[in-house]
Structure formats: structure tokens, C-alpha cells
Amino acid sequence: MIFSLLIYLVAGPMSAWNYLSYVIAAIVFSFGVKKWREANGGFLTFGQSYVHLILQSLIYAVIMGIWAFIFFKYIAPGAIEDMLLMMEVQWEEQGMSQSQIDAGLEMTRSWMTPTSMMTWSAIMNAVIFAVVNLIVAAIMKKDPPTPSFQPPAPYTNYPPQA
């Protein structure tokens, strides 16, 4: 959250630097899975790792959704208008007519409220990390060794002797 705020203050609302927060979160999640693996004897299957990562991601997604609401409602209420202005400029550069731009802005404005930003932030974080977690789980898994098959010891008195 603090990182997101710093990026906003330094680089603006639509900065590509915002994607760095996903990398940081994935690294933090990896450390969480590593600690859990160490606590379980140093072994963790892919499924166990993925479930652990999903739980962390859901908590993260809810927190980031709440953060988005707080950010767009109280900290930077003008950020949504800034993003809409940037979209308008991009659409003008693409050669869209003013009526198309006005219709697009009207539709976009209806989706860009603090409440909808909270909802979409939570959903997008959950979806993004569902995919990222597949990669992290594959890296962090360490299957327990499977016991090798040992045939039973030969019977010394078989067949029974009379």
C-alpha cells in the first residue's frame, strides 16, 4: 500500500511502475511458502504450495481492494478524473470523434467510482495472482521422497518341509 502510494506520488496514476507491486507481493508470498515448507519438514507438494499461495493472495486481494477504496475516496479523489483525462487524450490521439470520446467517457465514468475500483481491484488481484501463484508454486514445491519398493525378505521355510 505504501509502495502504491509512493508510485502514485512520484510517477502518477497510470504508471507502469505499479506492476512492480505484483513482483514484490510474489516475492513476499514466496518467503511465506518457504517458511511453511521449512515448518513441514522441508517438503511441500505443488498442491499444498498453491493452496497456501491462494490463501495469501485472497487476503492480499481483499486488503488491496479496501486500499483502493480508501485511496480513491479519501487520499486522491482526483485520481479518477486524472485517469479519465489521460484516456480522453489517448482517444483523441487515436483519432476518435468527439461523440465517440464523450460516449466512452460517460460509460467509463460509470465504472470508475471508489466502490467499483475497490471491487475490480480485489478481483483483478485475485485473478493475476491465481496465475502468478502457479509459477511460484512450481518453483517452491519440494515433494517428499517416495519410499523405494523393497521386496519382502525371502521365506526360509517355504515351501514347508515335512
pLDDT at 101: 92
CA distance 29 to 155: 53
The answer to whether residue 89 sits within a structural domain is yes
pLDDT at 14: 62
The answer to whether residue 155 sits within a structural domain is no
Does residue 34 surpass a pLDDT of 90?
yes
pLDDT at 18: 75
The answer to whether residue 156 sits within a structural domain is no
List the domain range (segments joined by +) for residue 60: 2-140
Which has the higher per-residue pLDDT, 129 or 9? 129
Does residue 9 surpass a pLDDT of 90?
no
The three three-digit cell numbers of residue 16, written as one number: 507502469
The answer to whether residue 148 sits within a structural domain is no
The answer to whether residue 15 sits within a structural domain is yes
Which has the higher per-residue pLDDT, 18 or 123? 123
The answer to whether residue 147 sits within a structural domain is no
Over residues 15-26, the mean pLDDT reads 81
pLDDT at 121: 87
Q: Which of 15-29, 48-62, 87-101 has the weakest average pLDDT? A: 15-29
pLDDT at 71: 87
Does residue 63 surpass a pLDDT of 80?
yes
Over residues 43-69, the mean pLDDT reads 91
Structural domain tally of the chain? 1
In terms of DSSP H, where are the helices of the chain? 2-11, 20-39, 46-70, 79-93, 98-111, 114-140
The answer to whether residue 157 sits within a structural domain is no
Contact 35, 53 (CB under 8 A): no
147 burial via Cβ count (<10 Å: 0-12, 13-18, 19+): exposed
Over residues 74-81, the mean pLDDT reads 88
pLDDT digits (tens, 9 = 90+) for 106-130: 998 888 889 998 998 899 989 999 9
CA distance 4 to 62: 15
